[in-house]
Structure 1
Amino acid sequence: MKTTLDELQAFATVIDSGSISAAAEHLGQTASGVSRALSRLEDKLDVTLLQRTTRRLELTEEGRVFLAQARRILTSVAEAEEQMALRRQRPAGRLRVNAASPFMLHVIVPLVAGFRALYPEIELELHSSDQIIDLIEQRTDVAIRIGTLRDSTLHARPLCSSRLRVLASPDYLQRHGVPTTVEALGGHSLLGFTQPDSLNQWPLRHALGERWSINPSLSASSGETLRQLALAGEGLSCLADFMTLADQQQGRLVQVLEAQTVEVVQPIHAVYYRNTALAARITCFLDYVSERLRPERH
C-alpha cells in the first residue's frame, strides 16, 4: 500500500506543531485521527519515525531522513496547485517582455496575434535590446536570453535551442565562389559582430581546433542587421537557425562548409524574478511561446 499525501501532511504537521494534539487542531482533525495516520505511515514504511513519550515526540534518524523527502513532496504539490489556481484566474495587466531584436522579430512577433486572442486582458509591451539588460533597471518582467546563462538570482525557464551555421546568399556565392575549406574564408567578405568577440568564433573544424576566429570585413551589433547584409549578398555570416530557418528553407541563404561545421546548439531561456502578482501573466506567456516553437528550433 502506498503512502498518501494526508499521511505525509500529518507527519510534517506534527513535527511543525510539536505535538499530535496541536497538529490535529491545525489540520481540523481529531488527535486520534492524526495518531492513526502516523501509525499507518510507519507501518507502510516499516520504520519508526517518531519516538513517543508522555512528555514529547522526537524524530528518529529514519524520521529525519524521511521528513526532508516528505517536505519536498508537499512543497511540489502545493506549487502545482498554486499554478492550477492561477490558470483558473483570468490573467490581466501589463507584461513587459525583452528580447534581442532577431528573436523578437522572428519568434515572438509571429505569435503575438494568437496570444492576444487567447489572453485579451494581458497588455503586452515588447522591447528589443541586443545587450543583456538589468530587468529591474529596464522595468522588464521577462527577458529572453540566448546562449549559456551567467550565474544569476533570476529564475530561468528553458524555451528551446537553436543551431549556428555559416550562411551566405546564392548571389554572393555565385559572384565570389563557394569556400571549400575553412582556410579559404580568408579570401571572402566575412560579416561579424562588433561585440562580444565570442560571437566571432565560428564553429568550424580545422587543423588546429573547432573554432575559427574571424576578422570581420563588416561588423554590426545586431544579428538581424547581419542577416539583412547576408541576404543582400554582402558576405558570409554565422547565424542562428531561429532567425534564418525560413531563409534556408526558401533558398535565400545557403549553408557553407557544412562538413566542417561543429554542431553548436545555443540554449534559449526566459528569465524573470518570481513575483506572485505577475505569476499568471508570465506563466501564460511562456507556456504559449514554448508550446508553439517549431520542432526545428528544439
Structure 2
Amino acid sequence: MDRIDAMRTFVSVVTEGSFSRAAEYLQLSPQLVSKYVSQLEEKLNVRLLNRTTRRVSLTEAGIQYLQHAKQILASIDEMEQQLGGLHQNPKGTLRISAPVSFSIKHLAPLLADFQKHYPLIDLDLQLNDRKVDVVEEGFDVVLRIGELKSSSLVAKYVAPIRVILCASPEYLKQHGTPSKPEDLKQHKYLHYSYLEMDERNEVFAWLRSKNVEQGGLFESNNGDVLVEAAIAGAGIALQPTFIAGEAIRKGQLVPLLLDYEPKVMGLYALYAHRKLLASKVRCFIDFLDGYFGTPPYWDAFDKDANSQG
C-alpha cells in the first residue's frame, strides 16, 4: 500500500461524503477505495471512520488524522508544483463556500475572470449563509461576512460591508420619513433573521424593541426578498448595500438615518493556515485583492441626492 495514495483516498472519502463518490472522484473502484482506507486503519492501528449503510463519519482519531493529512498532502502538492514549475499554471479543484445573496449578485463575474486567468483550475462553489467548517467540510476558501472572532484560520480582508436602512419613496410618502432612530417605532420593519443586532447602536436598539414589543413582523432569512418587499412598499429594511445598492441607484429605495449607520462590517476570505499554501488557493486569495474596488462598486450611489434621513 502506498501511504500517500491511502492518505489521499481517506481525505477524498471525507470530502465527498461516501466511498462511492470518492471512488468516482478518484476514478477507482469502490472496493479499492474501501481497501485503501481499511489498510490505512490497520497500519495506524486505529479506526478513522464510522461506517453505516447511509453515511460515513469521522472518529475522534479521524478528525485529528484528517487535519494532518490535508497539511501533508498540501505540502506535497505545493512542492511538486514548485519543482515542476506548475506555480505558473496552478491546477486542481478549488472548493469555495460563500453567502447566497452576495454570490448571486457579485461573485459570478469574479469567478469567470479568475478562470480566464487560471484555466486549469476547476471551481466548486457552494452557496450557504450558515457558518461552515473550512477543514471538516473540505473547503479551500470560505467567504464570510461579519465581525470575525478569534480563529485558527487565516482571514484575508476583501471589502467593507455597509448595512443601511432603506424604504421606497411611496412607503415614505404614505408613512413619513424617520429623522431619528426613535421614529422607527411608527414604522413596519422588514427583519433579516440572520442579522446580529448590536444594542449599542441606536437604530439596532429601536428595531430590537419593535421586534419584541410589536406584532406584524416581516422576517426572512434572505435579504433579496426583504429588499424586493421594501421596493413594493412593505416597510423599512435594514440591508447591506451589496443587495440594496442597485435599487437605491435606480431611485426605488431611499437610504435613511445615515448619521446612525451601523458599524461597517467586512467581507473576508478564510482558509486553513498552512506553511505551504496550495497555489490554487494563493492565486484566488491574491485575485480577490481589490477586485470590487475601493470603495466597492455597490456603494456607488449618491447619498445626498437620494437620502431623506
TM-score range, shorter chain: 0.5 to 0.7
Quote how far apart the aligned CAs of 1:201 are.
Answer: 5.3
The residue aligned with 1:132 is: 131
AA partner of residue 242 (structure 1): F
Alignment of 1:118-267 (within 5 A): 118-195=117-194, 198-199=196-197, 203-204=201-202, 211-214=205-208, 215-216=210-211, 217-259=217-259, 261-262=260-261, 264-267=263-266
Distance 2:206 2:86 in 1: 48
Q: Retained in 2: the 8 A contact 1:193–1:199?
A: no
- RMSD of the TM alignment (CA)? 2.8
Deviation per CA, 1:43-84: give whole Å up to 9, x if none.
xxxxxxxxxxxxxxxxxxxxxxxxxxxxxxxxxxxxxxx9x9
Contact 1:130 1:222 in 2 (8 A): no
Q: Deviations over 1:159-207 (max 9, x none)?
A: 11122211112232233322223222122110112245x24859446xx
Greater shift in the superposed pair: 161-170 or 225-234: 225-234
Amino acid at match of 1:245: G
The separation in 1 between residues aligned to 2:279 and 2:224, in whole angstroms, is 31
**In structure 2, do the counterparts of structure 1 residues 266 and 283 end up closer, same or farther at CA, with 3 Å as the change threshold?**
same
- Larger CA Rg, structure 1 vs 2: 1
| TM-score, normalised relative to structure 1 | 0.62
State percent identity of aligned pairs: 29
1:296, CA displacement in angstroms?
2.2
Q: 1:277 to 1:222 in 2, by over 3 A?
A: farther
AA aligned to 2:229 is L
Secondary structure of 2:104's match?
Answer: helix
Does residue 281 in structure 1 map to residue 275 in structure 2? no
Structure 1 spans left out of the alignment, 5+ residues = 1-81
| Alpha-carbon distance, 1:94 to partner | 0.9
How far off its partner does 1:275 sit?
4.9
Match of 2:38 in 1: none
Distance in structure 1 (CA, Å) of the matches to 2:179 and 2:229: 22
Q: Deviations over 1:73-100 (max 9, x none)?
A: xxxxxxxxx9x96884211111111111
The verdict on how the C-alpha distance between 1:288 and 1:238 changes in structure 2, with shifts beyond 3 A counting, is same
Pair 1:294-2:293 in alignment: yes
Number of the residue aligned with 1:39: none
Alignment deviations for residues 29-54 of structure 1 (CA, whole Å, 9 cap, x no partner)? xxxxxxxxxxxxxxxxxxxxxxxxxx
2:188–2:234: 8 Å Cα contact kept in structure 1? yes
- CA gap 1:142/1:164 in 2 versus in 1, 3 angstroms: same
Give the 3-state SS of the residue equivalent to 2:191 in structure 1. strand
- Corresponding residue number in structure 1 for 2:271: 272
Please give the alpha-carbon distance, in whole angstroms, between the structure 1 residues aligned to 2:116 and 2:194. Answer: 38
The 3 A distance-change label for structure 1 pair 88 and 139 is: closer
- Change in CA separation of 1:278 and 1:120 when aligned onto 2, cut-off 3 Å: farther
Q: 1:136 to 1:225 in 2, by over 3 A?
A: farther
1:291–1:257 Cα change, 3 Å: closer
CA contact (8 A) 2:184 2:206 kept: no
Find the aligned partners of 1:146 and 1:121 in 2 and give their Cα distance: 29
Letter matched to residue 143 of structure 1 = V
* Residues in 1 aligned to 2:256 and 2:168: alpha-carbon distance in whole angstroms: 10
1:247–1:134 Cα change, 3 Å: same
Kept after mapping to 1: 8 A contact 2:152/2:273: no
Change beyond 3 A, Cα 1:106–1:200: farther
